Amino acid sequence: MVKSFFWKYLLLILLFAPLPFSGFAFMPLQEPQGVDELINMAREFENAGNANQAVYYYDKAANACWRSNDYKNAIVYFEKALENIGKVGNKNGEKVLLINLGFVYSEISDYTHAQKCFESALNIATSGGKKQDVGQILYNISTVQIEQGNYQGALSNLSKTEAIAQEVGDQKLLRNVYYNLNKAYEGLKNTEKASEYFSLYAMLTKKLQAEEIRKKELQAKAMVDSAGRVVQQVSQEKEHTEKRLVETSKELKEKEQTLKEVEELTREQQMQIELLNAEMKLRDAVIQHQKLLQKVYIGLILFSLAFAAALYYAYVQKRRANRLLKEKNDEISRQRDAISRQADELRELNALKDKLFSIIAHDLRSPLFSLITMLNIAKEGHFTPENFKEILDELSVNVNHTTALLENLLTWAKTQMHGVKVNPQNFNLNQLVNSRIQLLNEAAENKEIKLKNNIPDGTFVFADTDMADIVIRNLISNAIKFCNAGDRITIWSTTGANTVTVCVEDTGRGMTSDVLQKLFGTQITSTPGTKNEKGTGLGLILCKEFVQMNGGEIWAESLPDKGSKFFFTLPKASI
């Protein structure tokens, strides 16, 4: 029976007098971690000297044990938290821990320890000057004293609590004090006092309830005042009725002036009663009408919200379906474009393959057959020494042409099989051009063409040396091919901020704009030279691929009978 009283008191504390939260849980909180994990973390922080975090996790573990009715471990972990919080010096947190520990002791009916915990918390609250906290803790102590049968001690503490509650204006705490005073005097068999404080408790409870009801009435009145035109019309009718009643009252008073004072007073009272009844009926009608309007408005609002939600949901679903459809269409379009590009590339490769087979079948076989025929005739001794020298010069030209053809074919085939890797390095462009001119000078002299290197010495670029050599060789070879006797071929360069631009300029026969546009395309075309020199059409394709692989660009400028200029860029070396 005693314990049931204690739970009622504790419920009143929790509902009407919550202690301020100061960094630690006042009541058990839901935690995702298990107790063992919380204790391990608390011990780790404690061993590391972080008392503040150790207090936090010991407090969480104690609350978890409290929720599961493991009061023994809850007491152990609350005491560990108190031990560590003393190192931090957080008095407010220590007060909350002491109160929680007091509640746990109370739940196992250990009221002696519970009272000690509450009294320690009281000392902290008193030193901090927080009267609200002091009053609540004194109330908790009085509850424990009532459970112990110490009614006089409880009365003393309740007297202090009553004064504090009145001072701070805490009506709920004051009501709880009256309740405990009732219980204390019941324990002392002083029924008169018990009844007196129970009456105070009931009156204060009624007052608090009345205040709540008054707040609600004020809210209702505010709603009545904000009603629409219908309420205004009713109000106008009410005023008109009141005026008519006043006029009627005046007329009656004038007619009944001769009656006795008693009869006049009685009639006036009757009229007032009737007026009050009319006002009450009018007020009831207004309230009923307002409630009806309120229900109608709420119904309309709910219907509108439901309809808007349905429209929004349909819109979202439609938008999602449109987005998915667009994504599918975009994906199909990308796949179609990719297939189309692959088909075009495949057609170009097939055409290129046919062209290569044609070159290999004609341009390689013809010079080899000529060489074999010449050698057989020379072996039979049909040539004079003078004729043999002429034939030997011609054979040398054919062999050189065939060698260049084979080099371009093999290099191009290697690039198409992705077997060429760019190995850039710093090198002197002037020296590379000089070495290539020395190899091609004989072919130029045979056509009486002058080769000149105007690239400044010390011009360094950062590129693949072999690729740059093939580009320069093909461009100079093309210039020799399309120059006549007496023409000049000049190789020069300009240096920019990040690139070096190289130009192979000749004074040969030049090109038309149509030919110029097809120079660097994927179609293999070959034009005979000024002395009917043949080619594979791969030279400029190789030049474009190698220049781009080294991060450069290639282009040409030309006019018929005015010569041609072939430009390409390479990255400038950073020395």
How far apart (Å, rounded) are the C-alpha atoms in residues 357 and 353? 6
Residue 181 in this model has a pLDDT that exceeds 80: yes
Highest mean pLDDT of the ranges 2-16, 105-119, 363-377: 105-119
- Work out the pLDDT band at 2, boundaries 50, 70, 90: very low
Residue 368 in this model has a pLDDT that exceeds 70: no
pLDDT tens profile 39-89: 999 999 989 999 999 999 999 999 999 999 999 999 999 999 999 998 888
Highest mean pLDDT of the ranges 217-226, 316-325, 342-351, 415-424: 316-325
Residue 197 in this model has a pLDDT that exceeds 70: yes
- Work out the pLDDT band at 213, boundaries 50, 70, 90: confident
Q: What is the pLDDT of residue 533?
A: 75
Q: Where are the domains of the chain?
A: 2-219, 237-324, 420-571
End-to-end CA distance of the chain: 98
Give Cα separations from 48 to 23, 33, 54, 84, 233 (angstroms): 21, 21, 9, 12, 77
Q: What is the pLDDT of residue 305?
A: 92
pTM of the predicted protein model:
0.37
Shortest CA distance to 405 belongs to which of 467, 363, 361? 363
Give the number of other Cβ atoms within 10 Å of residue 362's Cβ.
11
The arithmetic mean of pLDDT across residues 460-466, rounded, is: 94
Q: What is the pLDDT of residue 268?
A: 75
Residue 352 in this model has a pLDDT that exceeds 60: no
The arithmetic mean of pLDDT across residues 461-470, rounded, is: 94
Buried b (16+ CB within 10 A) or exposed e, 504-514: bbbbbbbbeee
Give Cα separations from 333 to 323, 327, 329, 340 (angstroms): 15, 10, 6, 10
Dihedral of alpha carbons 119, 120, 123, 127, sign:
negative
Q: What is the CATH number of domain 420-571?
A: 3.30.565.10
Q: What is the pLDDT of residue 239?
A: 74
How far apart (Å, rounded) are the C-alpha atoms in residues 111 and 109? 5
Q: What is the pLDDT of residue 25?
A: 35
Residue 425: both structure tokens together: 């390095």
pLDDT tens profile 372-381: 666 666 666 6
Q: What is the pLDDT of residue 388?
A: 62
The arithmetic mean of pLDDT across residues 505-511, rounded, is: 92
Least confident of 60-74, 353-367, 528-542: 353-367
Q: What is the pLDDT of residue 22?
A: 40
Residue 452 in this model has a pLDDT that exceeds 90: yes
Q: Which residue has the higher pLDDT, 385 or 397?
A: 385
The arithmetic mean of pLDDT across residues 367-376, rounded, is: 63
The arithmetic mean of pLDDT across residues 105-122, rounded, is: 91
HEC string for 292-317:
HHHHHHHHHHHHHHHHHHHHHHHHHH
Cβ atoms 85, 55 nearer than 8 A: yes
- Work out the pLDDT band at 489, boundaries 50, 70, 90: very high
The arithmetic mean of pLDDT across residues 148-158, rounded, is: 91
Q: What is the pLDDT of residue 524?
A: 65
Long-range contact set of residues 330-336: C-beta below 8 Å, sequence gap at least 24: none
Least confident of 143-152, 389-398, 509-518: 389-398
Residues in the chain: 575
Long-range contact set of residues 106-114: C-beta below 8 Å, sequence gap at least 24: 106/6, 106/10, 106/144, 106/147, 107/71, 108/71, 109/3, 109/147, 111/144, 111/147, 111/148, 112/148, 114/144
Residue 323 in this model has a pLDDT that exceeds 70: yes
pLDDT mean across residues, the chain: 81
Residue 402 in this model has a pLDDT that exceeds 70: no
Give Cα separations from 158 to 17, 140, 183, 197, 309 (angstroms): 15, 10, 11, 12, 57
Q: Nearest 5°: phi and psi at 20?
A: -70, 140
pLDDT tens profile 285-300: 889 988 899 889 999 9
Residue 361 in this model has a pLDDT that exceeds 80: no
Give the number of other Cβ atoms within 10 Å of residue 326's Cβ.
10
Q: Put residue 516 in one of left, alpha, beta given phi > 0 → left and psi -120 to 50 → alpha.
A: alpha
Buried b (16+ CB within 10 A) or exposed e, 12-32: bbeebbebeeeebbbebeebe
DSSP assignment of 142-210: HHHHHHHT-HHHHHHHHHHHHHHHHHHT-HHHHHHHHHHHHHHHHHTT-HHHHHHHHHHHHHHHHHHHH
Residue 298: both structure tokens together: 């709420």
Q: Nearest 5°: phi and psi at 17?
A: -135, 65
Q: What is the pLDDT of residue 321?
A: 87
How far apart (Å, rounded) are the C-alpha atoms in residues 37 and 44? 11
Highest mean pLDDT of the ranges 1-5, 14-18, 440-444: 440-444
Q: What is the pLDDT of residue 335?
A: 87
The arithmetic mean of pLDDT across residues 403-429, rounded, is: 68
Q: Which residue has the higher pLDDT, 433 or 368?
A: 433
CATH 3.40.50.1780 at 2-219, yes or no: no
Alpha-helical runs (H) found in 19-150: 35-47, 51-67, 71-88, 91-107, 111-128, 131-148
Instruction: Give the rounded percent of residues in the chain with a pLDDT score beyond 90.
Output: 36
Q: What is the pLDDT of residue 550?
A: 94
Give kind and range of the element (H or E) at residue 217.
Answer: helix 191-225
Q: What is the pLDDT of residue 255?
A: 73
- Work out the pLDDT band at 389, boundaries 50, 70, 90: low
pLDDT tens profile 5-51: 343 444 334 333 333 334 333 333 444 468 989 999 999 998 999 99
Q: What is the pLDDT of residue 267?
A: 74
Residue 369 in this model has a pLDDT that exceeds 60: no
Q: What is the pLDDT of residue 215?
A: 82
Highest mean pLDDT of the ranges 12-26, 309-323, 488-502: 488-502
Q: Which residue has the higher pLDDT, 477 or 237?
A: 477
Q: Which residue has the higher pLDDT, 271 or 313?
A: 313
Q: What is the pLDDT of residue 491?
A: 97
Helices 71-88 + 35-47 axis angle, to 10: 30
